[in-house]
Chain A
Amino acid sequence: MKEIKRTFQELLRYPSAMVSLVLILLMLIASAYIMIAIPYNEAIRLWRGSEEDWYKYPKQAAPVWMNYFSSKKQPVSFFINSADEQNTMVEKQVEKRADGSKKITITYTFDYVYDDFPQDLILYANSDYAAKKPLVSVVWITPDGRKINMASYSVLQRDVYRIAQDAKLERILRAKPMLGLFSDPSQKTPTPLKGTYQMVVTGSVFEPNTGLDVELVCHGTLYGMAGTDFMRRDLMIALGWGMPIALAFGLLAALGTTITTLVIAAIGAWYGGWVDELIQRITEINSVLPFLPILIMIGTFYSRSIWLILGATILLNIFGLGIKNFRAIFLQIKESPYVEAAKAYGASDGRIIIRYLTPRIIPMLIPQLVTLVPTYVFLEAALAVLGLGDPFIPTWGKIINDARTNGALFEGLYYWILEPAALLLVTSLAFALLGFALDRVFNPKLREM
């Protein structure tokens, strides 16, 4: 305990170590938060990307904060549902008539302050009628008070009205619907008119027990803090869940490989003879097996499950080259007087290996373990970039792969690649910096250098 405290105090002398410790702590907190906020199964379900979950979201929308970096403000997506009674942007009035029919008026009010036109406006109507379809008429009120009768139509049970594709409206407006609805009539070139817009949906329902709710969805070119991908999925989910997955993979792989390697090297050095020889032969066989190619084969031929890949990674690295280094040191420690003393008082082999040999190597082990974490974090990402990522779990590498295969680099959708890349880079640098600082703390010989 005392030693840990002393190490920690010494570590505090390195500013880089402080920064990396804070970063790692933040990442752990963020991971815990995301795991509680979106349970594992829910994250996997959402990432599967069914239309039902994501219909409201625009495709390949950049994050909202892009507007801070540009003088030309891009439209931000939004959606307003009349069923949502808390929302102040929508007002729903129901007027009952004597014959049992109802008049439902839904008024959406929103500010439009952007310098570009939205991609689409969509009305999703929901009605549980039995036989007679409700009738709906849509009126558009611009900030300068013009009223445009957009459409009247009868509503199906789940009805979708895509305004940008309405040819009739295009004829009425004598322009593409989005340009016609949003442009400023006083300007010659199409410029969006900024201000408060209103859309009034008036519905006539002919059955007493039938309800009608309409959701207005505006697909801008921006959405959310992270943006969306080609399947309309909010990248926030994969960026968030990628964190615990990356940390778990990196830490488990680093721990699994170094600790098993350490114990095996200790056993070999202590028993010597055929045990040592066998371990050395296995190490040699292992070194002839090419590591990454074998992982690629496992990923393609057997299973792309991240946990299987983790298992294979650990298995292929147990008899890695680290054994050679550890063995050389153990051979020296084996001859030291305190091990002789332990032998003399009758300590068992297991006790000597666990309590006498391995602790001596921990100063060497810890920095190595910490520096190994980024290697494995990137290994997972690398396999994902080759298209061998886990089919279900959202990870950073999979976002990069999706972005690359869907032409993000060619089309200039940089946020799609840069967000996961930045997170990968921060994670790897945090562990690398900590590892380098720990190395100097534990190995004073290096510190003088």
Chain B
Amino acid sequence: MSAITQIEEQKPQISLQKKSTSSLIRVLRYSVVRLLSLLVSLIIAIFLTIVIANMGGYVDRIRMGEIRETAVLSLRQIPSNRNLPAEQFLALVDNRVYQEAHAQGLDRPFILRTLNYMKRALTLNLGNALRMTSDTGSKQVRVIILERLPPTLLLWGSSGLFLFFIEISVALSISRKYGSWLDKFFVTMAPLSTTPGWFFGIFLILIFASALRILPFGGMVDAPVPKTTVDYALSLMKHMILPTLALVLSQTFLQIYNWRTFFLIYSSEDYVEIAKAKGLSDRAIERDYVLRPTLPTIITGFALTLIALWLGGPILETIFNWPGLGRAFYEAVQFYDTPVILGQTVIYAYLLAGTVFLLDYIYALVDPRVKIGQGGSNT
């Protein structure tokens, strides 16, 4: 379905050549407008996230309560305070709370606090986490995110990106062998992929970890961390089998089916028929007559796969106890740790906006029919 629309979308963008100077101005003007509009979208989206993540100020109230509690506890520790009358002691506590709240900016109105959060978020000054710490003991959001990044990249990057290219090449090859048993196999299996990865994950854990006891239940490496690099890598691979398999089962069939249908539609174009009549080799037809015009769509798919990496899969990572970004996000929500939630959302938003911006130029580079800033905007 989506394949059909994409063809139609590109039609109005074919236009006449213009002089090079005017085209430079056109590209510049387009870039500025596009950047500004993306920035506005980004700011609004981050604002919404802050309001949701801060529950309209509720998290701040929780923090105030905590500040008061620690103030009372720490002031009680001082021996000279023990004999003070209750009123004087309360005044001391209030004073301490005021200072602490002022230092953290909690005494300012809600909207100012939110704007402050936003300024820090937009400048990627991610600050300190409220409760979460990294394994090295740091409370910096940046360190926490960077620490969780490698596991996510390892799992989603290696399997996700690897799968993407496998899917494309399998889809291309079966689209050429339309009607073969392999083709029919993928068409039949496609509905299975409406089932998400975490669900297959539970099944796989049940079979391979619980019943057969041949693979681990979850985690990233064995409990006493292996000492040599080789053992470490082997342990890592063993732990990656099940999550990767869950990912394969949950998306590959449907993706191959979708790409195959997409390629089939392009393969029935007249110019492909002519190429065939000319007696070109299958490889040449695939490369120059099918892949070339579908490149923008493939690039979009690839870019979206890349962005999805940033969110990881909170659920799949939770099921497999994988210490990645998705799980970190889920933990942050559980701890009401606003700075970590915001940090991750902001980075995601920046990456997405950046990719959308770059895609327009990449389209223009790979597809000579597309001119930046002309025709209907393809946002």
- Chain A residues at the B interface, C-beta cutoff of 8 Å: 16, 280-281, 284-290, 292-294, 296-298, 300-302, 325, 328-329, 331-332, 364, 367-368, 371, 374-375, 378, 381-382, 385-386, 400, 404, 409-410, 412, 414, 417-418, 421, 424-425, 428-429, 431-433, 435-436, 439, 443, 445-446, 449
Contact = CB atoms under 8 A, between A and B. Distances in A.
A297 B45 contact: no
A301 B1 contact: no
A152 B169 CA distance: 79
Nearest to B209: A409
Given A289-B49, A443-B1, 16 more contacts: A284-B37, A284-B379, A285-B48, A287-B352, A288-B42, A289-B48, A292-B311, A294-B52, A325-B1, A364-B1, A374-B194, A414-B206, A429-B194, A432-B192, A432-B194, A439-B1
Given A280-B379, A288-B42, A382-B315, A293 B345 contact: yes
A296 B328 CA distance: 12
Contact of A428 (B5, B194, B345): B194
B191 interface: yes
Contacts of A433: 191
Contact of A436 (B8, B191, B265): B191
A445 B178 contact: no
Contacts of B379: 280, 284
Contact of A378 (B191, B199, B336, B344): B199
Contacts of B329: 293, 296
Contacts of B44: 285
Given A297-B341, A436-B190, A449-B178, A409 B205 contact: yes
Nearest to A16: B191
A378 B195 contact: yes
Per DSSP, chain B at the interface is helix
A429 B45 contact: no
10 contacts: A284-B38, A288-B41, A292-B314, A296-B330, A301-B52, A386-B318, A400-B202, A409-B205, A410-B210, A412-B211
Nearest to A387: B334
B363 interface: no
A421 B53 CA distance: 32
A166 to B, nearest CB: 36
Per DSSP, chain A at the interface is helix
Contacts of B353: 288
A404 B217 CA distance: 12
B8 A417 contact: no
B249 to A, nearest CB: 12
A288 B1 contact: no
B110 interface: no
Interface string B332-356: 0110100001001100110011001
Nearest to B55: A301
- 10 interchain residue pairs of minimum CB distance: A432-B191, A288-B45, A432-B194, A374-B194, A284-B41, A288-B349, A409-B210, A449-B264, A285-B41, A325-B5
A368 B217 CA distance: 36
A175 B311 CA distance: 59
A375 B315 CA distance: 14
B202 A417 contact: yes
A386 B292 CA distance: 43
B299 interface: no
Contacts of A410: 210, 217
Contacts of B314: 292-293, 296, 386
A385 B319 contact: yes
B8 A328 contact: yes
A422 B247 CA distance: 19
A428 B205 contact: no
Interface centre among B42, B196, B376 (most CB of A within 10 A): B196
B198 interface: yes
